[in-house]
Amino acid sequence: MKALILVGGYGTRLRPLTLSRPKPLVEFANKPMLMHQIEALVEAGVREVVLAVSYRAEQMEKELTEECRKLGVKLVFSHETEPLGTAGPLALAKDILTTSDSPFFVLNSDIICEFPFKELVQFHRDHGKEGTIVVTKVEEPSKIQLRPMSIEKEVFPFMAGDGQLYAMELQGFWMDVGQPRDFLTGMCMYLTSMRQKSSPLLYDGPGTVGNVLVDPSARIGKGCRIGPNVTIGPDVTVEDGVCIKRSTLLAGATVRSHSWLSGCIVGWRSVVGRWVRMENTTVLGEDVIVKDEIYINGGQVLPHKSIASSVPDPQIIM
């Protein structure tokens, strides 16, 4: 079986992180977002994944090819000259996807859930029609905006009209993690689902509260309180007496003593000083330095910035 993953788009909603790395490579729960999907696809028997990409293909190719080789899945890049929405890439990848008669998966790259690919194949084969769409209930349907040239608007309505489209309701959580606030909410859901599956990967060191994921190469100091809902990436340093809740620290980040973080994404190799308080969906891009004793409330800090005075109200720091 094959799968098409739509990774186009510039990932503007997840800036400043996507200024350093294409969105599919941003680590969600210590794994590039795309790898969550590819691993689940491989599990369901997919042997070839087509990535519809429009920019930064080289970086993705470089970083993903090796991972996919290990998983035994073939990675094919279908280049868009410009982002084509959701239906365009499907048309573009037509030749690759139709080399066999077996059905194929299509998925957006920025959603996280307990991918039910095996059940989906079974469900699809059972009804025998053209397509199956996985659906979930959301609190605010109006929050979901569709682009004019999308498969959702141009294709699905006709398929549905012809009785060719079936819906399978998703069990468990679902989240579009394309923007920082939802990225953190999705992380909470993901960690909760890891707990439900009694995942051995959850961290249980001293001072841990609730569900916490810590890369084995990370160092955590004495007297810290970590959690609930925290992901700590590889080579991260958390010094003594730090309190972190509902946050993601990406690879190589440092949080110095006595600081307090809640609702934050700390970018790769960023350094958060001592007695810093950061909250309210503060996102530090790559290699940001936050000086000692600073307060950041909802700041989006662009890569390589140094913050020397407090940011009391939500804003973008360029």
Partner 1 sequence: MIQHHIEACAKVPDLKEILILGYYLAAELAQFVSEMIQKYNVNIRYLQEFTALGTAGGMYHFRDQIRSGNPEGFFVLNGDVCADFPLEDILEYNRSKIAAGSSPLITVMATETTRQQALNYGCIVMDQLSGHITHYVEKPSTFVSTLVNCGVYFCSPELFQTMATVFNMKQSNFYNEHCYSGSNDPINKDSEAIQLEQDVMMPLAGTGRAFVFPTARWWSQVKSAGAAVYANRQYLQLYRKTHPERLAKNTDAVIIGDVHIHPTAVVDRTAVLGPNVSIGAEATIGPGVRLRDTLVLASASVGEHSLVAHSIVGRSVRIGSWARVEGTPCDPNPNKPFAKMDNLPLFNNDGRLNPSITILGCSVKVPSEVILLNSIVLPNKELTRSFKYEIIL
Among 31, 274, 291, 304, binds partner 1 (CB under 8 A): 274
x/- track of binding to partner 1 for residues 199-228 (CB under 8 A): ------------------------x-x---
Binding of partner 1 at residue 295 (CB under 8 A)?
yes
Among 243, 253, 284, 289, binds partner 1 (CB under 8 A): 243
CB of 243 to partner 1, least distance (A): 5
Compare residues 22 and 241 and give the one whose CB is closer to partner 1.
241
User: Candidates 90-98, 99-107, 121-129, 269-277 — which segment interacts with partner 1 by CB under 8 A?
Assistant: 269-277
Binding of partner 1 at residue 177 (CB under 8 A)?
no
Among 116, 186, 227, 241, binds partner 1 (CB under 8 A): 241
Cβ(299)–Cβ(311) below 8 Å = yes
Compare residues 44 and 209 and give the one whose CB is closer to partner 1.
209
Distance CA 132, CA 70 (A): 30
Binding of partner 1 at residue 246 (CB under 8 A)?
no
CB of 262 to partner 1, least distance (A): 8
Compare residues 192 and 280 and give the one whose CB is closer to partner 1.
280
Q: Could you list the residues that contact partner 1 (CB under 8 A)? A: 223, 225, 240-241, 243, 257-258, 260, 262, 274-275, 277, 279, 293, 295, 312
